[in-house]
């Protein structure tokens, strides 16, 4: 198939062809062009703290194991035995010494090496057979301040170059102090019948929907504060290499307040001065304000709530959502527990805000079953602050006003770049300035 | 009531007599009927003030892994007290909950009722299983099955829910949300 994705996506006007949310061939191309190429979040270091700790997850539709080996390294490898292909680990998390395939008993170390198999003398006279040739296929692994990423593409740039100046923004959550962050125990897994790009483009830059979608949920916790308040006064969008963050610098801790727990807001306020000294006042405000962000292609987060989530593709019409709650390590157990409850009551399958999102994305996807519907375009053109200059020193492509489709246009621009590229050599990287 | 108390409910007490079993069953069925008819105000008013309503996540762990699958400190699907349940109901009552309009149709079918005495004369350990079927809009549907471990408290002539641990069977929730109580 040779589709020119630039013809499907006009990122300057903000016109997106609906077929990218439906077409099976396009989806198969995405698995190759995007998921087999990008750096993907796979775990927080706190999930695999010591030797033997592992979790299982997916990169695209490829099942992977993330495991801490004896030498302290974190290994990411295909969860598929190279002998006949069965999964070698069916647990979601745990502690283990080796992964043994249920089929013939081939056993692999935490570094993915083939350690042995039953009746291994059967291979003694097998010409050319070497155990070192048949380990679990491994990905490249790099971490950024607690977040572990992996890629299966040997040509991919370093994680640092992939994230680029977006690291400056990520530090507003990941680098607020020396102690760093951790995930609370528990991975929430749920399934939505939607294309993975709808949740991804929502988190990368769509606060607009909150003003309508979340009116009912917002009423439950924000009524006493005057409901959901979002404006383009003192708010911005920033985009780097397709990653994006839309945020207010005006209303302090607006996201956190939606969880309805005053103690969390107090905690955030108590740390603002110290974080401001460390990172400057812009990022101290970004810590808990009305905002959302995403790392290309499918890893998203919400400041304040500190829910982190991946939108794992399961075909063009299905997405598996894995989500976690991140907390500052230094916070008291009592505050951490309030975050556990706060994110659950807002952004989880039972959350009063997330519940509404899934409905929207499912029906936005399903509508494309209609041939005529599918051949219509979607409007990503909102640009209310055109010509205004961002008055602050912030890296990346920035615009005034968080109510804006700018980040989403740049997300789809990036999407088209990946889909049209023959290799990483064709994929531009923004210069690093910070 | 605490989550630890709910985790400890293991059918170890003495079975109640026929009359008590019948009385508890009436109130368990009344609750299911309220939920099926979206009578959430009646339902919430019937909850005890010290209610604990807990739906933990399920995990796939190897049998030899001694880490407990369920723990009060883990992230959950629901981990509520009466106040937070009342907060959740405000969403439905706001009149601006677009995705609940038209409403969800649901059937909670409750069975396998077992009722045991506890060491408190007015509290009863109640075990049930349920099938929750939801249908929405033209074709949206989902079926969730689970087990419930409850504490019901006798208050006057009524039995009221004081604690509930819901064990869903799916480790990956194969539906987009839990927009109803069970």
Taking contacts as CB-CB distances below 8 angstroms, the residues of chain B near A94 are 61-62, 65, 67
pLDDT band at A337 (very low <50, low <70, confident <90, very high): very high
The pLDDT value given to residue B16: 98
pLDDT band at A434 (very low <50, low <70, confident <90, very high): confident
- What tokens appear for A397 in the block? 């492509």
Instruction: Map tokens 């929430």 to a residue.
Output: A188
Query: Using CB atoms, which residue from A92, A95, A215 is nearest to B60?
Result: A92
- Residue A67: which domain range? 40-142
**Cα gap A239→A398, rounded to integer Å:** 6
**Record: contact B78-A344, CB cut-off 8 A:** yes
Q: Cis check for the bond before A324: say yes or no (omega within 30 of 0).
A: no
Pick the closest to residue B21 from B108, B160, B151, B126 (CA basis): B126
ipTM: 0.96
pLDDT digit string, tens, across residues B101-146 = 999 999 999 999 999 999 999 999 999 999 999 999 999 999 999 9
Q: With contact defined as beta carbons under 8 Å apart, do A37 and A423 qualify? A: no
Write the CATH number for A130: 2.102.10.10
Pick the closest to residue A342 from B177, B75, B165, B89 (CA basis): B75
- Asked if A131 and A178 sit in the same domain, the reply is no
Please identify, among A91, A109, A142, the residue that sits at the C-terminal boundary of a domain. A142
- Asked if A216 and A338 sit in the same domain, the reply is yes
Average pLDDT, chain A: 96
Q: Please report whether residue A154 resides in a domain.
A: no
pLDDT at position A311 over 70: yes
Pick the closest to residue B52 from B156, B159, B166, B147 (CA basis): B166
**Cα gap A231→A210, rounded to integer Å:** 11
pLDDT at position A1 over 70: no
pLDDT at position A81 over 80: yes
Percent of chain B's residues with pLDDT above 70: 100
Q: Left if phi > 0, otherwise alpha if psi is -120 to 50, otherwise beta: which for A137?
A: beta
**Record: contact A213-B98, CB cut-off 8 A:** yes
- Asked if A306 and A422 sit in the same domain, the reply is yes
**Record: contact A220-B87, CB cut-off 8 A:** yes
The pLDDT value given to residue A252: 72
Chain A window 162-221: which residues touch B at a Cβ cutoff of 8 Å? 184-193, 212-213, 215-217, 219-221
pTM over 0.95: yes
Please identify, among A127, A142, A157, the residue that sits at the C-terminal boundary of a domain. A142
Instruction: Map tokens 């069965």 to a residue.
Output: A86
- Asked if A231 and A377 sit in the same domain, the reply is yes
Q: Cis check for the bond before B102: say yes or no (omega within 30 of 0).
A: yes
pLDDT digit string, tens, across residues B150-164 = 999 999 999 999 999
Q: Please report whether residue A12 resides in a domain.
A: no
- Asked if A342 and A205 sit in the same domain, the reply is yes
Three-state secondary structure call for residue B96 = coil
- Parallel, antiparallel, or unpaired for β B47-56 and B158-168? parallel
- What tokens appear for B133 in the block? 């079927």
pLDDT digit string, tens, across residues A90-146 = 999 999 999 999 999 999 999 999 999 999 999 999 999 999 999 999 999 999 999
Query: Using CB atoms, which residue from A90, A96, A355 is nearest to B177?
Result: A355
Question: B97, B103, B146, B176: which to substitute to probe chain A, counting the most A Cβ within 10 Å?
Answer: B176
CA distance to partner chain A, nearest, from residue B12 (Å): 29
The DSSP code sequence of A46-95 is GGG-STTEEEEEEETTEEEEEEE-TTS-EEEEESS-TTT---S---SEEE
- Asked if A254 and A383 sit in the same domain, the reply is yes
pLDDT digit string, tens, across residues A249-260 = 986 788 998 898
Pick the closest to residue B134 from B96, B171, B80, B181 (CA basis): B181
**Record: contact A216-B179, CB cut-off 8 A:** no
Q: Which long-range contacts (CB under 8 A, 24 or more apart) does A32-35 make?
A: A33/A418, A33/A419, A33/A421, A34/A60, A34/A297, A34/A415, A34/A418, A34/A419, A35/A59, A35/A60, A35/A61, A35/A62, A35/A297, A35/A313
Taking contacts as CB-CB distances below 8 angstroms, the residues of chain B near A95 are 65, 67
- What tokens appear for B1 in the block? 């009531």
**DSSP state for residue B11 in the 8-state scheme:** S
| Nearest residue in B to A188, CA atom | B57
**Cα gap A76→A67, rounded to integer Å:** 7
Architecture of domain B3-59+72-168: Roll (3.10)
Q: Which of A29-33, A39-43, A224-228 has the lowest mean pLDDT?
A: A224-228
- What tokens appear for B62 in the block? 């190897």
Query: Using CB atoms, which residue from A213, A260, A360 is nearest to B87?
Result: A260
Taking contacts as CB-CB distances below 8 angstroms, the residues of chain B near A91 are 60-62, 65
Tally of domains within chain A: 2
- Asked if A262 and A383 sit in the same domain, the reply is yes
The pLDDT value given to residue A299: 98
| Nearest residue in A to B81, CA atom | A341
Q: Please report whether residue A386 resides in a domain.
A: yes
Chain A window 254-273: which residues touch B at a Cβ cutoff of 8 Å? 260
Q: Which residues pair with A183 in a beta bridge?
A: A326
Mean pLDDT of A147-157: 98
The helix (run of H) or strand (run of E) holding residue A291 is strand A291-295
- Asked if A352 and A399 sit in the same domain, the reply is yes
CA distance to partner chain A, nearest, from residue B4 (Å): 16
Query: Using CB atoms, which residue from B57, B62, B97 is nearest to A188?
Result: B57
Q: Please report whether residue A98 resides in a domain.
A: yes
Q: Please report whether residue A15 resides in a domain.
A: no
- Asked if A129 and A169 sit in the same domain, the reply is no
Q: Which residues pair with B105 in a beta bridge?
A: B135
The pLDDT value given to residue A226: 75
**Record: contact B94-A212, CB cut-off 8 A:** no
pLDDT digit string, tens, across residues A404-427 = 999 999 999 999 999 999 999 999
Q: Please report whether residue A87 resides in a domain.
A: yes
- Would you call A340 an interface residue with chain B, using a CB distance cutoff of 8 Å? yes
- Asked if A242 and A121 sit in the same domain, the reply is no
Chain A window 362-381: which residues touch B at a Cβ cutoff of 8 Å? 362
Taking contacts as CB-CB distances below 8 angstroms, the residues of chain B near A318 are none
- Asked if A244 and A356 sit in the same domain, the reply is yes
Question: B2, B97, B100: which to substitute to probe chain A, counting the most A Cβ within 10 Å?
Answer: B97
**Record: contact A93-B98, CB cut-off 8 A:** no
- What tokens appear for B176 in the block? 């987009």
Q: Please report whether residue A336 resides in a domain.
A: yes
Q: Please report whether residue A305 resides in a domain.
A: yes
Mean pLDDT of B73-84: 97
pLDDT band at A57 (very low <50, low <70, confident <90, very high): very high
- Asked if A292 and A389 sit in the same domain, the reply is yes
pLDDT digit string, tens, across residues B12-66 = 999 999 999 999 999 999 999 999 999 999 999 999 999 999 999 999 999 999 9
Question: B89, B91, B143: which to substitute to probe chain A, counting the most A Cβ within 10 Å?
Answer: B91
C-alpha dist (Å) from residue A423 to A37, A417, B141: 9, 10, 42
Instruction: Map tokens 């296929």 to a residue.
Output: A137
């Amino acid at each position: 198939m040779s589709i020119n994705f630039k013809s499907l996506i006009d990122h300057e006007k903000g016109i997106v062809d609906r077929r990218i949310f439906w077409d099976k061939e396009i989806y198969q191309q995405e698995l190759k062009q995007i998921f087999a190429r990008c750096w993907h979040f796979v775990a927080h270091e706190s999930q695999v703290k010591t030797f033997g700790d592992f979790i299982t997850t997916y990169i695209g539709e490829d099942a992977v194991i993330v495991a801490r080996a004896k030498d302290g390294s974190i290994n990411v490898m295909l969860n598929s035995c190279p002998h006949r292909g069965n999964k070698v680990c069916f647990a979601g998390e745990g502690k283990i010494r080796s992964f043994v395939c249920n089929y013939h008993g081939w056993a692999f170390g935490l570094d993915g090496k083939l350690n042995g198999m039953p009746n291994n003398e059967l291979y003694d006279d097998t010409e050319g057979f070497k155990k070192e040739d048949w380990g679990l296929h491994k990905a490249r692994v790099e971490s950024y301040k607690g977040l572990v990423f992996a890629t299966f593409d040997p040509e991919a740039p370093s994680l640092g170059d992939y994230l680029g100046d977006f690291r400056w923004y990520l530090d507003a959550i990941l680098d607020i102090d020396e102690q760093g962050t951790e995930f609370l125990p528990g991975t929430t897994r749920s399934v939505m019948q939607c294309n993975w790009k709808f949740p991804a483009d929502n988190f990368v830059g769509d606060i607009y929907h909150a003003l309508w979608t979340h009116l009912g949920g917002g009423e439950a916790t924000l009524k006493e504060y005057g409901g959901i308040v979002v404006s383009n006064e003192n708010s911005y969008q920033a985009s780097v290499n397709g990653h994006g963050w839309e945020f207010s610098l005006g209303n302090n801790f607006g996201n956190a307040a939606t969880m309805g727990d005053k103690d969390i807001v107090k905690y955030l306020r108590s740390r603002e001065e110290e974080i401001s000294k460390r990172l400057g006042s812009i990022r101290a405000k970004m810590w808990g304000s009305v905002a959302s962000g995403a790392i290309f292609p499918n890893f998203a987060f919400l400041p304040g709530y500190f829910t982190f989530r991946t939108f794992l593709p399961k075909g063009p019409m299905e997405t598996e959502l894995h989500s976690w709650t991140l907390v500052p390590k230094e916070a008291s157990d009592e505050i951490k527990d309030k975050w556990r409850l706060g994110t659950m009551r807002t952004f989880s399958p039972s959350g009063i805000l997330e519940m509404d999102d899934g409905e929207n994305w499912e029906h936005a996807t399903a509508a494309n079953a209609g041939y005529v519907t599918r051949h219509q375009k979607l409007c990503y053109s909102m640009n209310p602050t055109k010509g205004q200059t961002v008055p602050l020193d912030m890296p990346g492509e920035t615009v005034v006003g968080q109510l804006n489709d700018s980040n989403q246009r740049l997300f789809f621009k990036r999407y088209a770049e990946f889909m049209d590229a023959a290799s990483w050599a064709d994929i531009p990287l923004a210069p690093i300035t910070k | 009531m605490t989550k630890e108390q709910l985790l400890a409910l293991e059918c170890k007490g003495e079975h109640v007599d026929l009359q008590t079993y019948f009385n508890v069953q009436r109130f368990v069925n009344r609750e299911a009927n309220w939920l099926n008819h979206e009578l959430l105000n009646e339902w919430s008013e019937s909850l005890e003030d010290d209610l604990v309503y807990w739906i933990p996540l399920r995990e796939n762990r190897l049998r030899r892994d001694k880490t407990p699958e369920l723990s009060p400190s883990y992230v959950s699907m629901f981990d509520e007290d009466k106040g937070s349940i009342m907060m959740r109901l405000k969403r439905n009552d706001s009149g601006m909950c677009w995705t609940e309009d038209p409403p969800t149709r649901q059937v909670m079918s409750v069975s396998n009722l077992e009722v045991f005495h506890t060491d408190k004369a007015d509290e009863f350990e109640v075990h049930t299983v349920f099938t929750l079927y939801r249908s929405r809009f033209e074709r949206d549907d989902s079926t969730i099955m689970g087990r419930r471990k409850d504490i019901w408290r006798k208050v006057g002539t009524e039995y009221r829910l004081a604690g509930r641990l819901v064990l869903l069977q799916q480790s990956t929730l194969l539906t987009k949300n839990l927009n109803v109580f069970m």
